Homo-oligomer: A and B are copies of this chain.
Amino acid sequence: MSTTTREQFIAAARHLFAERGFYGVSIAAVAEALGLTKQALLHHFGNKEKLYGEVLQSISGPLQEQAQGLLDRTPEPQQQLVELVLLQYRSQSDDADSARLIMRELLDNEQRAEKAGNWYLAPYLNMLVDALLAVDGAAHLTRDQALAVIYQWLGAAHYFAVSQPTLASIFGARAYAKTEACFEDELRQLILARLQAL
Contacts and interface: CB of A to CB of B under 8 A. Distances in A.
Interface in A135-189: 142-145, 147-149, 151-160, 162-163, 165-167, 169-171, 175, 178-179, 181-183, 186-187, 189
A165 B197 contact: no
A36 interface: no
Contacts of A72: none
A160 B163 CA distance: 16
Contacts of A156: 151-153, 155-156, 159
Given A113-B166, A121-B166, A189-B194, A147 B171 contact: yes
A20 interface: yes
Interface string A186-198: 1101101110110
Interface residues of A, number: 63
Given A122-B170, A156-B152, A107 B100 contact: yes
Interface stretch (A6-14, A21-29, A42-50, A73-81): A21-29
Cβ-closest 7 pairs across A and B: A155-B159, A23-B24, A117-B169, A152-B156, A193-B197, A144-B178, A113-B169
